[in-house]
Amino acid sequence: MTTRVMCYGLGPIGTGIARLACMRAGIQVVGAIDADPQKAGRDLGELLGGNAIGVTISADAAGTLRGVHPDVVLHATQSSLAAVAPQLQECIAAGADVISTCEELAYPWGRQPQLAADLDAAARAADVTLLGTGVNPGYAMDALPVMLTAACAEVRAVRVLRVVDAAQRRGPLQRKIGAGLTPDEFAQRVRDGAVRHVGLPESLHMIAAALGWRLDAGSDTIMPILAGHAIVTEYVAVEAGQVAGVHQIARGYINEREVITLELRMYVGATDPQDTVEIDGDPPLRMTIAGGIHGDIATAAIAVNAIASIRQAKPGLLSMTDIPLVHYW
């Protein structure tokens, strides 16, 4: 059965999702939305660097939803759940399942419970499913560690280390982690909430909920990684002593014991990129993906691969630990 899909948001991540959706058998892309006037009115296929496919990009989300009646909306616009909630509500009201790369949607019950409750109620009432996912949050530092615990008779602690060479990633991400700032500028933007990796606390809460742990306390520490030499990428130039990226650690505690540690080092020029998961359990487990998971490619793949799972899931706002196993299809 063919799934009718609308692509909502055509930035670097959204175009990757759209390109993969257009290539995948069993998917028919029937609509595309983007507010950028340079994109609205163009054919989606041409925007993606190919031939026209007869799908015109529109800035009118409501009109397109009414006109094309998608089964699933692949949503990729912003990281802030509060900012995208009206967009999500619009998709839900149109009767479409939604897969979004909004990081704060991956597990919003911990930090934004009222917004999560509102979206869940709307999705249930419309008999649709709403999912926030991506590579991180949504996989590398939450769903994957949770899956590894299936082999354990007991779990005492979960530790995840993700090292990412941001020089290989998109420009907006390099700017979001503070690449090229002075240490003082970095500190100010951290205080303003403008520089950080969005989603680490959400991953923390997702793991705890999946394992049945009630955290007594949690923390999210953000520090700069300074460049030891000049680094030039396609998007930023970083001098020695300037900020190359972010070192962020989220911790969760039960009875003052650290039971979840999520450490992210994301900076341009990172050495030894990797994704490592350690389970302190019976038996203990350790897994390393050498070179790490390419975030942009993986985010697009997870969003598209999740279509089959979300179509089988119950209605409501769900996380990656609530839906049938997502895998390549």
CA quadruple 94, 99, 101, 104: dihedral sign: positive
Instruction: Write out 148-168 in H/E/C secondary structure.
Output: HHHHCCEEEEEEEEEEEEHHH
Query: What was the pLDDT predicted at 22?
Result: 97
Which tens digit of pLDDT belongs to each residue from 5-15? Answer: 999 999 999 99
> CA geometry: angle at 46 spanning 43 and 51, to 5°?
105
Mean pLDDT of the chain: 96
pLDDT given at position 169: 84
Tell me the mean pLDDT in the region 139-161: 98
Longest dimension (CA), the chain: 59
108 to each of 111, 112, 115, 125, 140, how far by Cα in Å?
A: 6, 5, 8, 19, 18
In the chain, where do the E strands start and end?
3-8, 27-33, 57-58, 72-75, 97-100, 129-132, 154-165, 217-226, 231-232, 237-238, 243-254, 257-267, 274-282, 285-290, 316-318
Per domain, the residue ranges of the chain are: 3-134+297-318, 143-292
Enter the CATH code of domain 3-134+297-318.
3.40.50.720
Summarize pLDDT for 226-235 with one digit per residue, the tens: 999 999 999 9
Confidence band for 82, pLDDT divided at 50, 70 and 90: very high
Confidence bin at 170 (pLDDT 50/70/90) = confident
Q: What's the pTM value of the predicted model, to 2 decimals?
A: 0.95
